[in-house]
Amino acid sequence: DAGVTQSPTHLIKTRGQQVTLRCSPKSGHDTVSWYQQALGQGPQFIFQYYEEEERQRGNFPDRFSGHQFPNYSSELNVNALLLGDSALYLCASSPPPGSGAEQFFGPGTRLTVL
C-alpha cells in the first residue's frame, strides 16, 4: 500500500498564476481533505471531498477550488496566486465521514509564490 501520495513535491510559481496540486488517497479510502500549512504554523483545513462533492469548507476564499474524480483522487486548484499562498499543502484521506477513522496524511506539496 503506497499510502497517500501527492504531486508534485515542490513547485515555484509567480504572483497571479494558477496552480493545480494532485492527491491519490490511501487504498480503501474515499474521502479526501486538503490542508494548508504556512511556515511555523499548524495545518489549516481548506475543504473536504466525498462522493465527488465538496462536503465541508474552511475559511478560504473562492480562489481555492477542488475536484474529486470517480477513482477518489483529488485536485486542489488555486487561482490568482498571492505571496501569502506560499505554504505546504497537505492532502489527507480517510474512510467515509462519520466512520470515526483517523485521517492519513501525504507528504505534502511545497508551493513557493514569488
What residues line the site for another protein (CB under 8 A)?
Answer: 4, 31, 33, 35, 40-45, 48, 50, 55-56, 58, 90, 92, 94, 97-98, 100, 102-108
CA 64/CA 93 separation, integer angstroms: 19
Taking the complex as a whole, the smallest distance from the CB of residue 48 to another protein amounts, in Å, to 6
Residue 54 beta carbon to another protein: minimum distance, rounded to whole angstroms: 10
Between residues 33 and 74, which has the closer beta carbon with respect to another protein?
Answer: 33
Contact 32, 54 (CB under 8 A): no
> How far is the C-alpha of 78 from the C-alpha of 21, rounded, in Å?
9
- CA neighbor of 78 nearest in space, from 64, 93, 60, 99: 64
Q: How far is the CB of 112 from another protein (least distance, A)?
A: 15
Q: Between residues 56 and 112, which has the closer beta carbon with respect to another protein?
A: 56
Task: Compute the distance between CA of residue 61 and CA of residue 68 in angstroms, rounded to an integer.
Answer: 19
